[in-house]
Chain A
Amino acid sequence: MSFTRWRTAVVFMCFWLGVCTSAQARTPTDTLVIAWSIDDMLTLDPAESFEFSAGEILGNSYQPLVGFDLNDVSKVFGVVAQSWSVSSDGKTFSFTIRPGLEFASGNPITAADAVYSLTRAVKLDKSPAFILTQFGLTPQNVDEKVRQTGEMTFEFETDKPHSPQLLLYCLTANVASVVDKKLVSSHERNSDLGYNWLKTNYAGSGPFKIRDWRANEVVVLERNENYQGPQTTLARVIYRHMPESSTQRLLLEKGDIDIARNLTADQIQAIKENADVSVQQGVKGAIYYLGLNQKNPYLAKPQVRQAIKHLIDYTVIADTLMKGKVSVHQAFLPKGMFGALELTPFSLDVEKAKTLLAEAGLADGFTVTMDTRNTAEATGIAQAIQKTMAMAGITVELIPGDGQQTLTKYRARRHDIYIGRWGPDYQDPHTNAETFARNPDNADNADSKTLAWRNAWEIPEMTAATDAAVLELDSQRREQMYLDLQEKQQQSSPFVIMFQEIEVIGTRSNVKGFVIGPSFSTNSFQSVTK
C-alpha cells in the first residue's frame, strides 16, 4: 500500500502548494487594473475602430482636434487644434494647430498629421468613415477638400453649409483622432496607408500609449512621457478581459482588480455593503428601444404602436431588473445631448392599451415575435415586457440569438419586434435624428439602412425636417426643431424608447478620479489616483 500512500502524498503536496501560494494579490499602486468584457475589440486603428471598448482605449491614448466639456457639452474647446474659423459661405473651416505638441514617438504634431489622419480615414472607408464622409468627402475628392495650407494650418471644405456644431462634434469622434504621419507612413506596405500595421500598433499623442493588445485577453497601456498635458500618476493601465460578471465581482471584492465594468444591477446593490468597494455612476448616451417592423400588418396599425407604448412597466423595470443601470427616457435624443426631450408621457396602462387595440379591431390580441440578443440585460427586459404585453392579449414569442444573428435579421427587415440599444456616434443630435427620423428610400435594396428604414417606416416629411435641422445655423431654432421631431415621434413612431443607459462601475474605495462620460470614448482615467 506504500504506492497509494506515495500518490496520496503527491496529491496533498499539490494542494498545499496551492494553499501556500494564495497570498494576497493586491494590484501594484502605480497600475490600474480594469476588468471588462473586451471581446468586441477588432482593431486599434482609429480609422476603423468602432467598438465600445476600443473607443475608450483610443479615447485615452489618442488626441482629437477638438473636445467638449463633459459637464456642459455645448462648450467646445480645442485639443490639438488651437483655434478655428468658418468662411462666410459656411462651407470652409480653417484650423490652426496648437504649437509645441509632440506624439509619443517624439515627432512634432503639425497640420500634415491632421490632414493625413482625416484623409486616411476617408480613403480607407471603414465603418466609422461615414462620420466624415457625410460632409461630402469621398476617397477621390478628400485630398482636395481637406488640404494643408501652412505648416500649422489646414482647411476642411464641406459640400453644404452645415451647422458648425455638427462638424466640430464630429471631429471629437475617435475616427478624427490625430495619428503620427511619419510613424505610420514608415510602416506602409503596398500603399495601404499603414492599415495593416496600425491595426495592432499605436501612433498617437494621448496621455497613455498602447503597449500591448492580446485579443480577448488583455490590453496594456503605459504612461506617455511625451504628453504635453498634466502627467498622470499611473504608470500603467491594464484591461483584463473577463466576460463573467460574477468573476469580476469576486476579484473586485478581493482586491485583485481595481475596477469592474460589467456588474449587474443586483451585484451593484450587494457590493454597496462592502466598505472596500464603492460604486460610481455616469449617464451614458445609449438608449434602449423596441423597433416595431411596419411590414408586420398588426404593428403597422398606429393604434397598436401606441398601445404597445403603454404596455411596458418602465418604472418597475428601472427600479428592479435594471436598478441603477438605466433611467426612464422616452425620446430619441439622450439626456445631456443638445436638443434632448425630457418628456416621459408613457407608463403601464393596460386599460388604455386594450381600448386602443379594440379601436384597431384587435380586441382579442395577436401573436408576435421579438428578436432578443442573448445578453442578460436584453433577455431580462424582454421577459418583463413579455409579461406585461400578455396582460392585453398580445402574445410575445422571444427569439434569441447572438448579437450578429439578430443584427443580420434586423438589417434584412425580417423581424417583428427588435429590442435594441443604440449609442450615439458623436455628440451632435444629428447622429440619432439621422437614424430614427430619416428614411430617404424605403425600398428593400436601399443604400441607407437607418433604423427607420429597418422598421420600414415611410416618413418623407420627417426626413425633410431632419435634413433641414442639420443645416440650421441658429442654435435655438435648431434645438426647437429637434424637440418637435421627438414629440412627433413619441406620438406616432414605431420606436418604443424605454430607457437611457447609466454606466455603473464598481471600484476599490482607494481608486478615485475615473471619469464617466456620455460615450465610451469620453471615459477617462487620466486623473485616476490610487
Chain B
Amino acid sequence: MKARWPSTQAWLMSEQPSSGRQAALGRAYRAWVTLRANRLAMIGLTIVLLLIFVAIFANHLTSYSPTVGGDLRTERLLPPSLTHWMGTDEQSRDIFSRVVYGSRLTLMVVALVAIIATPIGLFVGTTAGYLGGWVDTILMRITDIFLAFPRLILALAFVAALGPGIENAIIAIAITSWPAYARLARAETLTIRDADYICAIRLQGAGPVRIIWGHVVPMCLSSVIVRVTLDMAGIILTAAGLGFLGLGAQPPAPEWGAMIASGRQFMLDFWWVATMPGLAILFVSLGFNLLGDGLRDVLDPKGLK
C-alpha cells in the first residue's frame, strides 16, 4: 500500500512515540489498517455508515410521507414499480419511504440502548470485580437474576407491564442488555485487578473510584465496545420481535418489526409489504455483526485471527 502522506504515516507508525497523543493516534491508525484489510468488516462498516446516512438524509431520499397514505381506493397494495420502488402497503403508504424513515427509529433504538446499558454495565461490572467481597456477590446475584431470563421474554414482560410504545421498548431492552456487559466487564476487571501498575497507583494513594474510572474502565472498554457492537444486531432483532408482537413502536410509526407484523396477512399475494422491512432488518443486523467481528479481531488482543 503506497503511503499518500509518507511523513504522517511514518509519524503514526513510529516505534518510539514522543507523546501520549501520538501513541494513541498510532494505535488507532494501526487498528484502522488492520480493519481495512478485513473485507467483510469493511462491508459491515459500509452498511452501518449507509444506515446513518439514510437516517440523516431521509427526507432528501424520498418525497412520499412515511405516515400519511395516499388514496385508499387507487394506491393500496401496489407492487414495486418505478413510482414506488418498494410498492405500497395496506394504507397506501410508500414502503420505500417507510423503510427509509424507519432507519431513524432503528438507529435511535440502537443508540439509546447502547448509551443507557453500557455505562450501567461497566459501572456494575467494574465495581463488583474491583471491590470483591459482598459487594461483588450482591451485584453478581442481581446480574444473574436478569441473565436468568431469555432477553426477549424479559423485555416482553417489561413492555407488557409498562405498556406498548417505543420508549418503553427501549427501556425494556436496555434493562435486559446491561447484565451481559456487566459480566464481561467484571471478567476483564478480575484479570487486571492484581496487575502491577494497579498496585503501583494504589500505593501512590489513589482511591478506588479513581482507579476504577481512570484505569480499569479504559482497559475493559475495548472488549465492551466489541460486545456492544455485536449486540446491536440482537437489539435490533429484539426490537423487531417486540414490534412483531405489537409491543414496540406503534402505528403509524414506520418501525420495521411492526411493518412485518401488519404485513404478514398479505404475505401470499402482496409479498413485498412484509418482505421489504425484513430485508432491511437482515441487512442492517448483518452489517453490525460484520463490523463487530472485524472490531473484535482488531481490538481484542486475545482474539483469534
- Residues of A at the B interface (CB closer than 8 Å) are 244-246, 249-250, 264, 266-267, 270, 313, 316-317, 319-321, 372, 374, 376, 379-380, 382-384, 386-387, 390, 398-402, 405
Contact = CB atoms under 8 A, between A and B. Distances in A.
Nearest to B74: A320
A246 B250 contact: no
Q: Most A CB atoms within 10 A — which of B165, B262, B268?
A: B268
A446 B276 CA distance: 50
A383 B259 CA distance: 14
Contacts of A250: 268
B91 A383 contact: yes
Contacts of B267: 246
B259 to A, nearest CB: 12
B252 A383 contact: yes
Contacts of B246: 374, 400, 402
B250 A398 contact: yes
Given A244-B264, A245-B265, A374-B246, A266 B270 contact: yes
A270 B268 contact: yes
Contact of B163 (A249, A379, A386, A405): A405
A251 to B, nearest CB: 12
A368 B192 CA distance: 56
Q: Most A CB atoms within 10 A — which of B163, B165, B265?
A: B265
Interface of B: 68-69, 72-73, 76-77, 90-91, 163-165, 246, 250-252, 262, 264-270
A387 B69 CA distance: 8
B270 to A, nearest CB: 7
Closest 4 CB pairs of A and B: A374-B246, A320-B72, A400-B250, A270-B269
Contact of B268 (A246, A317, A374): A246
A503 to B, nearest CB: 17
Q: Is the interface of A mostly helix, strand, loop or mixed?
A: helix
A249 B252 CA distance: 26
A203 B268 CA distance: 43
Contacts of B76: 320
B73 A319 contact: yes
A372 B164 CA distance: 11
A321 B69 contact: no
A398 B91 CA distance: 15
Given A321-B90, A382-B251, A383-B252, A316 B264 contact: no
A277 B258 CA distance: 31
Given A266-B269, A376-B265, A387-B68, 19 more contacts: A245-B265, A246-B264, A249-B268, A250-B268, A266-B90, A267-B265, A267-B269, A316-B73, A317-B72, A321-B91, A372-B251, A374-B164, A379-B262, A383-B91, A386-B252, A387-B91, A398-B251, A401-B163, A402-B246
Contacts of A264: 265
Contacts of B269: 266-267, 270
Contact of B251 (A244, A249, A379): A379
A39 to B, nearest CB: 14
Q: Most B CB atoms within 10 A — which of A245, A249, A266?
A: A266
Contacts of B77: 266
Contacts of B251: 372, 379, 382-383, 398, 400
